Amino acid sequence: MIDEIQRLETDGVARIGAAATLDDLVAADRDVLGKKSALNGLKRGLGGLSEDERRTVGAALNAAQQALRAAVAAKRDELTASTRLAEAEAERLDLTEVRADRDAGHLALITQVIEELEDIFVGMGFIVAEGPEVEDDWHNFTALNFPRHHPARDLQDTFFVGLGGEREVVMRTHTSPVQMRLMESQEPPIYAVVPGRTYRNEATDATHLAVFHQIEALVIDRGITFGHLAGTIDRFIKVFMGPGYATRLRPAYFPFTEPSAEFDVQRPDGTWLELGGCGMVHPNVLRNGGIDPEAWSGFAFGFGLDRLATTRQGIPDLRELTSPDIRFLQQI
Ligand code: PHE
């Protein structure tokens, strides 16, 4: 009988182990341990045995039942875990989406032009400098040889800022105030370019912006001549615009340079574009910057970047430069 119980336990453990699903396991549990199971049949037959036999067989039956219950519990744990895994796998949601092309933006045209010009001038031995966009009267006008009531101030329609004394603080009307800041902060020789934003109280149209960009150049060294100025301008225009472009200087007036000139660029089709102003740094300006005009001389020029950028790119209207229209931006 003990052998019989052993066999039933071994078979039962095998049966339980073979269950592939929780339903299989319920059926196996019933067959092996249920009321109608062989094991239970043996239990019911215990009454017909002698006291001694009943004790041994009873103990063997209990041990077999416990072993089988443990097998069922272990199998149930195993099947529950794998069922959960299968469910999770089946219900899994992929929330990522892969797009073939990402739309990457790019630098604004003006920023591209500034970086390119910086490279050209750095290649010629210049440093790149910056200055504040909100300026005081001294740097924007007075130190640049525009006395208080000088009519040349009217050429630069100015936005005044409500700070300090009357008309004391301005949105800088050009990048020339940085000439003064450079002279104040370093000893000559100075070879510097200054790109930046500038402001004038102008009605906006295809060729004028109230907020625009300039790049200034300042050179101060011993023995600097007008020839150096003309050569530098012609060189950077040919490098930046291409060999088909030429330059010319026309006499002009600026309070902070003497002599002064305007410089124009000739397009390959022969037409001229007015680009900026230039000249030899005025002795008063050198003195205001703490530099001895007997020992040093220099040139300066400043021109509008917006026109240069649109001319090279063939954009007919300066206002396009701030256009948010994606169809325009994609062409740059
Ligand atoms: N600052 C002048 C302007 O904005 C241009 C200029 C710069 C002229 C340097 C001479 C020298 O019109």
Cis preceding-peptide flag for 189 (omega within 30 of 0): yes
Report pLDDT digits (tens) over 196-228: 999 999 999 999 999 999 999 999 999 999 999
Phi, psi of 161 (to 5 degrees): -110, 135
Residue 197 Cα to ligand 1 midpoint, Å, equals 14
Quick count: other Cβ atoms within 10 Å of Cβ 96?
5
Alpha helices (H) in 45-172, listed in sequence order: 51-91, 109-123, 137-140
- Helix (H/G/I), strand (E/B), else coil: 20: coil
Residue nearest to atom 8 of ligand 1 (CA): 277
Shortest-distance atom of ligand 1 to CA 179? 9
> Of 176, 208, 232, 297, which is best to mutate to test ligand 1, by the most ligand atoms within 8 angstroms of its C-beta?
176
- Helix (H/G/I), strand (E/B), else coil: 317: coil
Residue 196 β-bridge partners: 214
Residue 165 Cα to ligand 1 midpoint, Å, equals 26
Residue 279 Cα to ligand 1 midpoint, Å, equals 8
Q: Which helix (H) or strand (E) holds 192?
A: strand 190-199
Q: How many CA atoms lie within 13 A of 235 on its CB side?
A: 10
Residue 263 Cα to ligand 1 midpoint, Å, equals 10
Residue 298 Cα to ligand 1 midpoint, Å, equals 14
Task: Quote the CA–CA distance of 298 and 292 in Å, as a whole number.
Answer: 11
Looking at residue 278, what is its pLDDT?
Answer: 98
Quick count: other Cβ atoms within 10 Å of Cβ 35?
8
C-alpha angle with apex 123: 118 to 129, nearest 5 degrees? Answer: 40
What is the chain's Cα-based Rg? 46
| pTM for the full predicted model | 0.70
Handedness of CA 76, 81, 82, 84 (dihedral sign): positive
Shortest-distance atom of ligand 1 to CA 214? 4
Instruction: Ligand 1: list residues with CB < 6 Å.
Output: 174, 176, 216, 254, 257, 260, 276-279, 300-302
Distance from the Cα of residue 108 to its chain's centroid: 12
Residue 98 Cα to ligand 1 midpoint, Å, equals 52
Q: Please identify every stretch of the chain with a pLDDT value under 70, giving residue numbers as ranges.
A: none
Residue 294 Cα to ligand 1 midpoint, Å, equals 23
**Structure token digits, residue 276:** 């900026």
Q: Which helix (H) or strand (E) holds 315?
A: none
Q: Which residues of 266-301 are buried (b: 16+ CB within 10 A; e: fewer)?
A: beeeeeeeebbbbbbbbbebbebbebeeeebbbbbb
Residue nearest to atom 9 of ligand 1 (CA): 301
Residue 261 Cα to ligand 1 midpoint, Å, equals 9
Looking at residue 197, what is its pLDDT?
Answer: 98
Looking at residue 40, what is its pLDDT?
Answer: 85
Q: What is the DSSP string of 235-280?
A: HHHHHHH-TT-EEEEEEEEETTEEEEEEEEEE-TTS-EEEEEEEEE
Shortest-distance atom of ligand 1 to CA 217? 9
Looking at residue 192, what is its pLDDT?
Answer: 98
Looking at residue 203, what is its pLDDT?
Answer: 92
Residue nearest to atom 7 of ligand 1 (CA): 302
